[in-house]
Structure 1
Amino acid sequence: MATLNLKNVKTRPHPTARDTAVAVRPLSAGETIVSVPAWTTALLISEKGRRCDWCGCLPLPGDPLLKCGGCGSYWYCGKKCQLRQWKAHHRSICKYYARYTASAAFQGLPDEEKVDAVLLSHTLANLHESPAEDPAREDDSSPYSVFQTLIEYTSVGYSVPPVCGKSTSISPSPEASSLYARFGNNNFVLHSHLTAFAHGIFPLTSRLFNHSCVPNAVVKYKLKEADLPCMEVVAIADVAEDEEITIPYLDPAIPLDVRQHQLQSRYGFKCNCVACTFQRKINPVPFPSPEDLKGLEAILRQRIQLTGVHSHALSSRYLLPQLPPDLFPLLHDSYLPSLSEAFSKTSHDGEYALALEAGLTLLGLYSMIYPRNYPLIGMHALELAKTAWNASIQGVPGKSEDARLKEARSYLVLSREVLGVLGPEGDPGGPMEEINTLTELLRADGPA
């Protein structure tokens, strides 16, 4: 924890949670609140052999990963990453790993639980291999000590998975049970450009930050060869001194009932944020008839166009509570998934006029559901910019080429503003590089 800087945050008592994190001073949108290295991580099954098992980095083109000669199941950027993971925990599990992953106990787990089983194995081995993480060490700042203060998972019916070692017995040790009791409600899914690649443990972040469906901060991950992934908690809105800092444990666009069930079953609380409170008041909402739907979508698109799609994250306020009652049907649980699918399909199939209409409607819905500067708004705006650019190239009827190019530029401005607040994260390149490339293409096509 030596790299941790807590000059921006302090804790105070919370009426329902153990405590809450508040800002020590005023914070600006885009400011890093804390930077926390991972305690342990484990790659998703789909990422094994594709990324380095230690630092999470992707190899450079033409530069293959180095495979562990012992188990043949771990891959590394190079000798430095391999040596660091060997010392941390791999030497305790290397010779047992192949038998472990082939066991019936491991194979019977869902993929998500397999990742957590490996993560638990890494964590236990890390405790045994690293003197600094000795449970008997009286240091309340160590990752182990902080992790032990986290609230245990209390859901009925959960079971501790087998751990890699000399025995793959299903019967867990007391130490494994104690650690795993805190896995379900405290682990994080690591992502690069919002695409998941690993699970990881960041005890202090779990200890500090509570959830909100209208958060003023989000997490991102920085990857650097030879180092474990580092989590940064970034403010996406200005935060006043003594204001609580919250992050989203789940996607705020998940339907209310599903979201509440997952928060209750996985984290043990009922969310009463402004979004959940508003949605409870208006539920259940009817799904609009096909003839009404087009009119409601047109109204939503007009609202977005009137506010200006290039305005900073669309609004300085959270818009959902201001949604007119006649638009409530657009919050029906099935509407957002169907609209998202329609945008993806038409954009992929080259039906750009339909894609741009569906995409603008989706942007309007995102601007209601998500808070200011939420990264998914920026990612979607980038997809809209690329769609408008393709429409200009193809000469899609309905608007002139200049109008399509102007449309693409406005979406790019929004995307740059929102993703600029988040800043670079994950793998090299990604959306900011795409934004820069498309900006140059649009500049070559003439003035805005």
Structure 2
Amino acid sequence: MIREVKNNVLYVDGCSTVDLAKKYGTPLYVYSENELIGRLEELKRDFTSKYENTRVAYASKAFCTAAMLKLCMEQGICTDVVSGGEIYTAMKAGFPPERVEFNGNNKQPSELELAVDYGVGRFIVDSLQELSLLESICAARGKTANVLFRITPGVRSDSHDYMVTGKKDSKFGIPLDEDVIYPQVKQAIEAPHINFMGFHFHVGSQLFDNTSHLQALDIMLDVVKNVKERFGFDVTELNLGGGFGVTYTTEERKPASYFLQPMMARIEAFFEEMGVKRPAVVIEPGRSVVAEAGMTLYTIGSIKEIRDVRKYVSVDGGMTDNIRPALYQAVYDGVVANKADEPKEEVVTVCGKCCESGDILIRDIAVARPESGDLFAVFSTGAYGFSMASNYNRNPIPAVVFVRDGKDRLVVKRQTYEDMMRNEIL
């Protein structure tokens, strides 16, 4: 995202944040198309163009809108979905179903039926009950599903516990106990309406060290070897998940190649030693594509100074448009966007308007002297802001705008009070 200051005003990709706020209102999600495209191009350069038989599947849970999925489609990127709603959004956006991969630990029968009917390309089986259910759905329709098993590699990642998914005690994935995983593999190989392809892991999110990825990969490759020895079966696809960390405040983001290059080196050496053709390799980045491409604009309202304690600056949004600080103490940076060049002389706590003491967006941030009516911008909100937005306190979900080279376009309308009441029966 290109951020610059002109005449004391913050600009993003050539667009004035003040003008955007006047045109579309606040709170407002703003995304840089150039940043989104740049992140996808990095993945293509360092992965799909560098290694044959590889794919990138954007994890749409991070930011799922028709506009984002169309952008992925135009860039030749696949997508990873985790619900019937995300499948439906992808289909309405015109996404090719064969380029959709369906994850999730508790896929509902109706969701599996929807996915089978659409012809979704991959099913990442995540529970012991799912395979039989999927097989019965496919049998009833005379179809075959491409399947990978999501395994729980049992590795620990250095992240918030809510974002660690690869440890053994996790709701995600199939445990690697011999009497659990291998009967599942045997069933998948023998099932007439299942095309078993291989394995998937995801060790967690917001990671800056590749150790847990490499540990999980070694465990996965050991399972691959055991499957070959037990069943004479060669896997045709491996999915390495995502989890690459991004910059919210002072974190040092690593390039995608930092994670991908050593994993691909191990994979290629492993299959060369086995004398087997290297299977397709897939990654599922989400946050690392969209987080830094987004910012949220707010209008400052009431200001409360508690002498010798704290100064609260309230904005017209909060936990309803960004739950992450309240959910797992996520930390952000920001600026008074209409005073972007002024000295940051005051330390304040930026809070939301919800009736919750925990509705705090940023604690103890140095800013230019804030006043009611000023515009405040919070950076790196592109992941899990819009996706996790709610109507708590009956607050409408903000609009979403894409900006690029000085031009803006509305991609999601602001929710109205009437929209919130639409399904209610009076």
What's the TM-score, normalizing by structure 2?
0.27
Larger proportion of helix = 1
What's the TM-score, normalizing by structure 1?
0.26
Higher relative contact order (CA 8 A, sep 6+): 2
Larger proportion of strand = 2
